[in-house]
Amino acid sequence: MDRVAGEIGDVIQVGLADGYFFDAVPPQEVREALTSLSVQVNGQALTAAQIEGLGEILNAQAILITKVAGYGKIKRKWLIYLIGSGVVEGAIDGVLAAAVVNSPWVVAGVVAEEVLQEAVTWGGGVFLFNRVFTPVILETELVSTTDRKVIWSDTAFARMNRKALKKLPEAERKKKEVRLQVTAQRAVEHLLKDLNKTAFRNVE
């Protein structure tokens, strides 16, 4: 995963450099700065001192922090979120049912049916989803190095990159590692598109 995170970071850096709104620091300089501050990139949040230190060493007004939240499968946190959204939907349907019929048993039945349906759909569906697709989830924050406030944040989710896969030889398409790499590129594209769109709105 360290290698994967490094590769995704390199793709993000190239994407930022190709845009109009950001001057991206080369990945090697970032790695050297992290080393000088004794920062271990292992998923833990950066401290306030580390963020400020990176800003000073790199002469950067902000740093883009990206976490690989999912790579090849949907994690439990996302499964709970998806099922939870179904529970909320079931509760809303129950309230609507209560407005039509004056029976708590009918309301309870509607809610239970919706919750069960969502659990089966996503519980079994995620298993099949992880086998058919190669999902990549990136959680990203743009953080100010002066006051450490989050300027922008986004979660990029990509299931598959069909367009990129079609350009590859058939033998390569079957390799999960290759599919994950091109899917990660698509997730980065989503991320950068939203970031640049936000930057453009703030420039106007």
Whether residue 153 sits in one domain with residue 66? yes
Whether residue 90 sits in one domain with residue 102? yes
Whether residue 68 sits in one domain with residue 27? yes
Q: What is the mean pLDDT of residues 23-33?
A: 86
The residue that leads in pLDDT, 170 or 130, is 170
pLDDT tens profile 156-166: 888 777 788 78
Whether residue 29 sits in one domain with residue 124? no
Last residue of a domain, one of 88, 115, 131: 131
> Can you give the CATH number for the domain in which 7 is found?
3.40.50
Summary mean pLDDT of the chain: 75
- Give the pLDDT of residue 131: 53
Whether residue 152 sits in one domain with residue 56? yes
Whether residue 177 sits in one domain with residue 86? no
Whether residue 87 sits in one domain with residue 67? no
Class of residue 151 by CB neighbours under 10 A (exposed 0-12, middle 13-18, buried 19+): middle
Whether residue 149 sits in one domain with residue 52? yes
Strand partners, 150: 143
Last residue of a domain, one of 110, 131, 152: 131
Residue 112 above 70 pLDDT?
A: no
Whether residue 152 sits in one domain with residue 112? no
Whether residue 187 sits in one domain with residue 153? yes
Give the global pTM: 0.69
Q: What is the mean pLDDT of residues 55-68?
A: 91
Q: What is the mean pLDDT of residues 104-123?
A: 49
- Give the pLDDT of residue 97: 44
Question: Which residues have CB under 8 Å from 151's CB, separation 6+?
Answer: 62, 142, 143, 144
Residue 193 above 70 pLDDT?
A: yes
Whether residue 142 sits in one domain with residue 42? yes
Residue 108 above 60 pLDDT?
A: no
- Both tokens of residue 35? 């080393």
Q: How far apart are the C-alpha atoms of 148 and 36, rounded to whole Å?
A: 20
The residue that leads in pLDDT, 53 or 46, is 53
pLDDT category at 101 given cuts 50, 70, 90 is: very low
Buried b (16+ CB within 10 A) or exposed e, 76-90: eebbeebbeebeeeb
Q: How far apart are the C-alpha atoms of 140 and 27, rounded to whole Å?
A: 17
Taking alpha carbons only, the member of 138, 187, 143, 125 closest to residue 161 is 187
Q: What is the mean pLDDT of residues 126-152?
A: 78
* DSSP run (H or E) holding 81: helix 76-100
Q: Which domain holds residue 16?
A: 2-72+134-203
Q: Which of 39-43, 129-133, 155-159, 160-164 has the lowest mean pLDDT?
A: 129-133
Residue 55 above 80 pLDDT?
A: yes
Q: How far apart are the C-alpha atoms of 190 and 196, rounded to whole Å?
A: 10
Whether residue 61 sits in one domain with residue 20? yes
Domain count across the chain: 2
